[in-house]
Amino acid sequence: MLNALFTLVMQVLYAFGTTGLFMYGLQALILTLLKLREERLQKQGNPRIHHYCDLGTPYILVDLPPVTVQLPIFNEVHVVSRLIDACAKLEYPSNRLQIHVLDDSTDGTTAIAERRAAFWRKRGVDVQVLHRSDRQGYKAGALKEGLTVATGEFIAVFDADFVPPPDFLNRTIPSFLRESGKDIGFVQTRWTHLNGEYSALTRSQALALDGHFVVEQAARHAVGLSFGFNGSAGVWRKACIEDPAVGGWQDDTLCEDLDLSYRAQLAGWRGVYLDDVEAPAELPPQLLAFKRQQFRWAKGSVATLRKLAGSVWKGGWPTWKRTAAFVHLGGYLIHPLLLVLLLVSPLLMLSGSQPYLPLAYLSLVSVGPPALYALSQRRLHRQDWLRRWAHLPLLMLLGMGLSLSNSVAAWQAVFGRGGTFLRTPKFRVEGSSDSWHRSGYALELEPIVAAELFLSLYAGIGCYIAVIHGLWLNLPFLALYACGYALVAVYGFYESWISRSSRAQLGSRPAKPFRPKGLVKY
């Protein structure tokens, strides 16, 4: 009796997990088809797409509105000069442009920022460093406090790892100024990559981000679905942030950007995604840094879902739009579902059940994610898209290997509130000759690596059980788990060893942040 009950519980959990994966694959497939459909309509000149994409003749700028550029930073010795220089070179009238470095740093970053701001002020650019000694609210707190002294009608935000092109404001501000743009609250642009070809890790990240921006964001925007502000390389209407119905920047999630953008759309403001405006940024070259970034994004997005689920449900949106919003906000819940499937599969096989049966309908939409990434690469890199898309297997392994860490993040988001904002270190790694290993910002291994090694072994045992029971359809899935967890754990060990060895070569003195080649000295 107990054995039958145990098997039933395992089967229910397995079915729940596969249903979640089905939803994830279905979303990717639908967004890919929507992107293809809207491209076809656009080529045919169908006016239905214009309502959301805000197409039409370019707006002629006559009286430029004042803009404040906010640069929230914390301990960014390597990249703060690059960021300030890029923003100071924005092609916008100096009497209409205000640049605020919102600095919460506790190391030498502040001194570097002050020197570079003084350099540009002598050349007529209004660059100010606003330093906080108290990091209350983290990035959201800095943006909120900075808004009180911002004189711009529009607020552009760039994180430390970005290098905005000179024409960025001239290509984004017009969206707000068109007659049809009075209800536009924010504009998001497409991220590109300064170091996308640096390593297999950065190429995999580039593939994932290209899929998100080129297909997911574009498709959601094109058909009028809610979508998120990505926290950087975008512009906000100050009146939207300060709208009492929106509520301004809030620090009760670690994704203040996603949170604010959804509250703005629920309050009736509209977002615009500009796929043709690029904003280059640096990808994390260290696996542990990428892992930390994903942990924060997972925790923040699930916390936003927890916070806004009731508002989305009661917000007056049609059912299809509410459903899409829930699936969007819950995207990182895929990782706990992956973990559940791993834990349950070997137990079901030992009990004599056939856990692969629910995978039959999952296979119907399994083409969704590969098709989404293939489409993004075809649109961006028509000549060598296949070479770039070939990093999909590594991206899948990383997704499997990070499922434990991201599941912990989701758990904390569901049963807690907020959390410490752990920054993703930036190293100014752009080319193959640059290095991050000697930097004092390089991250160390965390205890969770022991659990990842255990799960790799557990998945390997599952592979053995699948072989001896002849359940061959389970073998590829479990092998992905085993290899993914092994990759994340072992490569983390390798990176940590290389970093320690590189710093040891500097001598017995304490390691200092490494200044990559090409950084300007003052």
Helix (H) or strand (E) holding 300: helix 287-314
Least confident of 348-362, 401-415, 419-433: 348-362
Label the pairing between strands 127-131 and 234-237: unpaired
The CA distances from residue 224 to 51, 211, 217, 270, 339, in Å, are: 9, 19, 11, 9, 33
56 sits in the region (left: phi over 0; alpha: psi -120 to 50; else beta) called left
| Alpha carbon distance 329, 314 (integer Å) | 16
pLDDT tens figures, 487-521:
999 999 999 999 888 877 765 343 344 343 333 33
User: Helix 287-314 crosses helix 200-210 at what angle (to 10 degrees)?
Assistant: 20
Nearest Cα neighbor of 254 from 53, 79, 412 is 412
| Alpha carbon distance 363, 471 (integer Å) | 17
Kindly report the number of other CB atoms within 10 A of residue 158's CB atom.
Answer: 24
Degrees to nearest 5, angle at CA 414 with 363 and 10: 45
Is the model's pLDDT at 393 over the cut of 50? yes
The CA distances from residue 38 to 50, 63, 377, in Å, are: 10, 34, 17
Nearest Cα neighbor of 337 from 23, 38, 64, 77 is 23
Give the model's confidence band at 191: pLDDT under 50 very low, under 70 low, under 90 confident, else very high. very high
Catalytic site residue from 126, 210, 257, 434: 257
**pLDDT (mean) for 80-92:** 97
Give the model's confidence band at 472: pLDDT under 50 very low, under 70 low, under 90 confident, else very high. confident
Q: Which two tokens stand for residue 423?
A: 């920054």
Give the model's confidence band at 46: pLDDT under 50 very low, under 70 low, under 90 confident, else very high. low
More confident residue, 52 or 160: 160
| Alpha carbon distance 522, 347 (integer Å) | 62
- Pair 75, 105: CB distance under 8 Å: yes
Nearest Cα neighbor of 76 from 51, 97, 57, 101 is 101
- One-letter amino acid identity for 446? E
pLDDT tens figures, 289-345:
999 999 999 999 999 999 999 999 998 899 999 999 999 999 999 999 999 999 999
Which pTM value belongs to this model?
A: 0.91
Taking all residues of the chain, what is their mean pLDDT, rounded to a whole number?
89
Q: Order of strands across the sheet with 234-237?
A: 127-131, 97-103, 67-73, 154-157, 234-237, 184-193, 270-281
| Alpha carbon distance 1, 76 (integer Å) | 60
Collect all residues with Cβ–Cβ distance below 8 Å to 457 and sequence separation of at least 6: 482
User: What ranges do the domains of the chain cover?
Assistant: 2-32+332-504, 66-328
For the question of residue 252 being annotated catalytic, the response is no
- Pair 489, 453: CB distance under 8 Å: yes
**What proportion of the chain, given as a percentage, has pLDDT over 70?**
90
**pLDDT (mean) for 260-274:** 97
Is residue 241 classed as helix, strand or coil in its secondary structure?
helix
Backbone phi, psi, residue 125, to 5°? -100, 130
pLDDT tens figures, 406-421:
999 999 999 876 567 7
Nearest Cα neighbor of 376 from 35, 30, 49 is 35
Kindly report the number of other CB atoms within 10 A of residue 431's CB atom.
Answer: 12
Radius of gyration of the chain (CA): 24
Q: In the chain, what is the greatest distance between 2 CA atoms, to the nearest angstrom?
A: 82
More confident residue, 425 or 45: 425
Catalytic site residue from 104, 161, 251, 434: 104
| Alpha carbon distance 405, 290 (integer Å) | 12
For the question of residue 384 being annotated catalytic, the response is no
Nearest Cα neighbor of 417 from 302, 332, 309, 259 is 302
| Alpha carbon distance 286, 291 (integer Å) | 9
Label the pairing between strands 97-103 and 154-157: unpaired
Among the four given CATH numbers 3.30.70.260, 3.90.550.10, 3.40.50.300, 1.25.40.10, the one describing domain 66-328: 3.90.550.10
Helix (H) or strand (E) holding 470: none
Backbone phi, psi, residue 63, to 5°? -115, 95
